[in-house]
Amino acid sequence: MFNTEVLKIKDSLIEDNAIDKIAETTAIKKAAQYILNNEVVAFPTETVYGLGANALEKQAVTKIFKAKGRPSDNPLIAHISDKNQLPVLIEGDVSGVAEELINEFWPGPLTLIFNKSMKMPQVTTAGLNTIAVRMPSHPVALALISKVNLPLAAPSANSSGFPSPTRAQHVYNDLNGKIPLIVDGGICNIGVESTVIEIEENIINILRPGGITRSMISEVIGDAYQVKIADTAEVNKPKSPGMKYKHYAPQTPLWIFKSKNILVNLLSEYNINNENTLVILSDESLNNVDENDIQANIKNMGTINNLEYIAQNLFNFLREADQKGYDLILIEEVPNKDIGEAVMNRLKKAAVKII
Ligand code: AMP
Ligand code: MG
């Protein structure tokens, strides 16, 4: 057991992207010391909070799996702050389309799969001979990684299966007592995890949709590659083991409802039009309901014209609903385009029913 400490980085340093100054804060000095001692530390990234440890040390990485309760066959992403940290992780050079994508999207929420180097312990990659790598853009993440000058293996800093953490408080709620330190860097901007891609001969296979959208990738690489989102049947194979587990789920049962359905009819058909139900609705749908017909609680997720806002707040909506103790959460689907693809991917994995 740890007496978990939460140390905040000033908002102004984050807003100014002051990586060098952040690296000199007590929070980062302490975090770096823990990492060098093979402990794990939670820190903010632009996607979600990560639970980091030295990716090259088996003993350290094992502690990540233990703190989260993560299945040992679900590999981790290695986070770097500088391209010169790549050779220790991967076999061979980076060239071609991988290089193009890195030049365009790093630092940022794009994770690429490479053949792994012999130096990587098996535990980090869950026995695969490939390794997932990304360079986050959050100044706190970059400050910590460059301070220790080591690649950090870092999955999301939640208990395995729960909604990912986008605030330090979310990490605390899940991991209090299980880790020594949470570096608080405020709210994560993107709110859903990185896009994980694998490059095949003529195909960019999106194993997990995320912060970098399919159209952003297509725009960079043009017609030379087909960009496709791997379907769940494919990712059930060992390719991306993480995708086979239940994920992102609140404790409260979550149903997704299709926006074409008439809400008030659904609520009465399923006998859930009561105050134990929370309905999370878009602005647009909210304008179309007569609130007098609805006894369930309503939460506005924002407009479907701002999918970035919905992505940023998604996990917080789910965690808040859990805290309020509803029996059921009903959430409206969002358009399956741009970052909405990542939102729908998370919701479908979290939901017990789609109606
Ligand atoms: P998380 O750490 O919770 O963000 O999850 C990391 C995701 O990346 C999971 O879905 C993993 O299955 C996936 N992943 C990590 N390493 C690899 C790899 N070598 N090959 C394919 N997918 C990977
Ligand atoms: Mg995760």
How far apart, in whole angstroms, are the C-alpha atoms of residue 240 and residue 78?
15
Taking the centre of ligand 2 as the mean of its atom positions, its distance from the CA of residue 273, in whole angstroms, is 33
Taking the centre of ligand 1 as the mean of its atom positions, its distance from the CA of residue 133, in whole angstroms, is 9
What pLDDT does residue 235 have? 54
What pLDDT does residue 231 have? 72
Residue with CA at minimum distance from ligand 1 atom 23: 240
Residue with CA at minimum distance from ligand 1 atom 5: 155
Identify which ligand lies nearest to the alpha carbon of 239: 1
Class of domain 254-354: alpha beta
pLDDT mean over 70-83: 97
Question: pLDDT-derived band of residue 317, with 50, 70 and 90 as boundaries?
Answer: very high
| φ, ψ (nearest 5 deg) of residue 270 | -95, 5
Identify which ligand lies nearest to the alpha carbon of 76: 1
Is the pLDDT assigned to residue 245 strictly greater than 70? no
How far apart, in whole angstroms, are the C-alpha atoms of residue 180 and residue 177?
7
Question: pLDDT-derived band of residue 107, with 50, 70 and 90 as boundaries?
Answer: very high
Per residue in 281-300, pLDDT tens?
Answer: 999 999 999 999 999 999 99
pLDDT mean over 220-236: 80
Question: pLDDT-derived band of residue 242, with 50, 70 and 90 as boundaries?
Answer: low
What pLDDT does residue 230 have? 86
Taking the centre of ligand 1 as the mean of its atom positions, its distance from the CA of residue 318, in whole angstroms, is 23
**pTM, entire model:** 0.96
Overall residue count recorded for the chain in this entry: 355
Question: Counting atoms of ligand 1 from 1, which one is nearest the CA of 155?
Answer: 2
What pLDDT does residue 297 have? 98
Taking the centre of ligand 2 as the mean of its atom positions, its distance from the CA of residue 101, in whole angstroms, is 23
Is the pLDDT assigned to residue 246 strictly greater than 90? no
Taking the centre of ligand 1 as the mean of its atom positions, its distance from the CA of residue 132, in whole angstroms, is 7
Domain 5-229 and domain 254-354, same fold? Reply is no
What is the fold of 5-229? DHBP synthase (3.90.870)
How far apart, in whole angstroms, are the C-alpha atoms of residue 6 and residue 343?
29
Least Cα distance to 215 among 339, 99, 307, 305 occurs for 339
pLDDT mean over 178-205: 97
Identify which ligand lies nearest to the alpha carbon of 77: 1
How far apart, in whole angstroms, are the C-alpha atoms of residue 254 and residue 34?
37
What pLDDT does residue 12 have? 98
Taking the centre of ligand 2 as the mean of its atom positions, its distance from the CA of residue 164, in whole angstroms, is 6
Question: Counting atoms of ligand 1 from 1, which one is nearest the CA of 48?
Answer: 4
Residues with CB under 6 A from ligand 1: 74-77, 113, 125, 128, 130-132, 155-156, 193, 196, 207-208, 239-243
Question: Counting atoms of ligand 1 from 1, which one is nearest the CA of 128?
Answer: 19
Taking the centre of ligand 2 as the mean of its atom positions, its distance from the CA of residue 256, in whole angstroms, is 21
Residue with CA at minimum distance from ligand 1 atom 9: 242
How far apart, in whole angstroms, are the C-alpha atoms of residue 25 and residue 67?
25
Taking the centre of ligand 2 as the mean of its atom positions, its distance from the CA of residue 317, in whole angstroms, is 17
Question: pLDDT-derived band of residue 340, with 50, 70 and 90 as boundaries?
Answer: very high
Least Cα distance to 72 among 117, 121, 108 occurs for 121
What pLDDT does residue 240 have? 60
What are the residue ranges spanned by the domains of the chain? 5-229, 254-354
Question: Counting atoms of ligand 1 from 1, which one is nearest the CA of 154?
Answer: 2
How far apart, in whole angstroms, are the C-alpha atoms of residue 130 and residue 116?
5
For residue 112, list its beta bridge partners.
Answer: 133, 197
As a three-state string, the secondary structure of the chain is: CCCCEEEECCHHHHHCCCHHHHHCCHHHHHHHHHHHCCCCEEECCCCCCEEEEECCCHHHHHHHHHHHCCCCCCCCEEECCCHHHCCCCECCCCCHHHHHHHHHHCCCCEEEEEEECCCCCHHHHCCCCEEEEECCCCHHHHHHHHHHCCCEECCECCCCCCCCCCCHHHHHHHHCCCCCEEEECCCCCCCCCCEEEEECCCEEEEEECCCCCHHHHHHHHCCCCEEEECCHHHHCCCCCHHHHCCCCCCCCCEEEECCCCCHHHHHHHCCCCCCCEEEEEEHHHHCCCCHHHCCCEEEEEECCCCHHHHHHHHHHHHHHHHHHCCCEEEEECCCCCCCHHHHHHHHHHHCCEEC
pLDDT mean over 44-64: 98
Residue of 74, 160, 188, 232 to test ligand 1 pocket, by largest number of atoms within 8 Å of CB: 74
Is the pLDDT assigned to residue 247 strictly greater than 90? no
Report the chain's mean pLDDT, rounded to a whole number: 95
Q: Which residues contact 110 (CB under 8 A, 6 or more apart)?
A: 101, 102, 134, 194, 195, 197, 210, 211, 212, 217
